[in-house]
Amino acid sequence: METRRGPAALLPLLPLLLLLGASGFLQSYAVEVDVKDASNVTCLYAQWMMKFLIKYETNSSDYKNASLDLPSTVTHDGSVCGNDTQAALLAVQFGGGHSWSVNFTETNETYQADFIVFTYNTNDAAVFPDAKRKGLVTVVVKDSMHPIQLNNVFVCHHTTSVEAENVTQFVWNITMQPFVQNGTIGKTETRCHADTPTAAPTVVPTAANVTTTSTTTSSPAPTTAPKPVENPVTGNYSLKSGNKTCLLATVGLQLNVSQDKPLLININPKTTSTDGTCGNTSATLKLNDGNSTLIDFTFIVNASASVRKFYLKEVNVTLLNHLNGSVILNADNNNFSKWDAFLGNSYMCRKEQTLEINEDLQVHTFNLWVQPFLVKENKFAIAEDCSPEVDNFIVPIAVGAALGGLVVLVLMAYFFGHKKHRNAGYEQF
């Protein structure tokens, strides 16, 4: 893998770069990344320009805007070629501990970008002088890129901006293709909607031509309502013992991370691999989303000899830094007693459920259907649905209320009948 930026690539940008130099702002450079596979053949290619405007709090509780540009040199450690089962990842690192990445998935002869992850380091005093909060800050944005035909090159000269969590990201002059076939960049271009076939490179955004709030204010930075996240895609997972399927699971998974800043993460089943173990009284399903999330579900069979049931006992979630593999968050709860069903049956719950792992993490499940034991012919057995739990709770109340009303009616009939009988006796006297 290599990063290159030749003089020829910069010739069309010289007037623009001179303009930036005259304006007194840091200039962004055209960055070219050529990711190669184990055979030293290009598998992911990208060339683009990028800039960030970041609002941050100072030690005096004021807020300032910082301008962060791509320097002339970047690294791209952690970039991944990807294939039809694993997401491709374009990751670059630059400056004083800053990084940016975007992942791509391949589906039905097309590819598209999924998430953009930008991490900036407020310890970089040159960019964030007098920053109150020190350390790494990560912003995750869902990309709105439409599916592109495989082997087509995505081209967009127009400036695209994305705002999230006090950060505005600008990207322009993009030429990009993941999942390159046979090491040859495609000859067919797919343009973004804002471009025309003759569109010229656009003017780089600067603090002078981008409308932002005042650089110093006495009030907290404005917050915007988070964009709703769609429900996750339902995935089908299974484990085998020898040639026989021993565990089946169908579920949509969403992580709700509240550490530092709230974040919802949908697990993509198309890029998720399965592993684990099957046993007579214990089974574990391990899911790896191929990027930065590991989830383990452990089921056990209760010890009662008279009524044999299985249930979910433990959930472990690990979030990794996709650049270096370091652990960002590890959460475990081994005190569950959920998703129970008779041994030999399966458990089903179509409605959304929430598993509280710890104070920083929740796992939301959708369209759940699971059978961790005694799977036969690779099919789910009879399902015990979670919805009757509500019905079973309501029915005894209704029956109890009806019986209570009947008792009241009997007592009232007895009382009035007895009273009438006594009045009749007085008349005869």
The b/e string for 39-62 (b: 16+ C-beta within 10 A; e otherwise) is: eeebbbbbbbbbbbbbbbbeeeeb
Non-local (6+) Cβ contacts of 243 within 8 A are none
Domain boundaries, the chain: 31-195, 235-385
Over residues 90-109, mean pLDDT: 90
Residues in the chain: 429
18: DSSP letter: H
Lowest mean pLDDT of 190-194, 354-358, 406-410, name the range: 406-410
31-195: what CATH class? mainly beta
Q: What is the pLDDT of residues 144-176, one digit of tens each?
A: 778 899 999 999 988 888 888 889 998 888 999
Q: What is the pLDDT of residues 365-410, one digit of tens each?
A: 999 999 999 999 999 999 999 975 444 444 455 556 566 667 667 6
Percentage of residues in the chain with pLDDT exceeding 90? 41
Alpha helix segments (H runs only) across 207-280: none
pTM of the model: 0.45
The whole-number pLDDT of residue 159 equals 83
Name the burial class of residue 137, with classes exposed (0-12), middle (13-18) and buried (19+) by CB atoms within 10 angstroms of its CB.
buried
* Neighbour count for residue 257 (Cβ, 10 Å): 20
The whole-number pLDDT of residue 324 equals 61
Over 27-69, what HEC string results? Answer: CCCCEEEEEECCCCCEEEEEEEEEEEEEEEEECCCCEEEEEEE
Backbone angles phi, psi at 195, to 5 degrees: -90, 160
**Mean pLDDT of the residues in the chain:** 79
Over residues 51-65, mean pLDDT: 90
pLDDT band at 415 (very low <50, low <70, confident <90, very high): low
Cα end-to-end distance, the chain, whole Å? 116
pLDDT band at 314 (very low <50, low <70, confident <90, very high): very high
CATH code given to domain 235-385: 2.40.160.110
31-195 and 235-385 in the same fold: yes
The whole-number pLDDT of residue 423 equals 54
Report which residue type is found at 234. T
The whole-number pLDDT of residue 139 equals 86
Over residues 178-198, mean pLDDT: 83
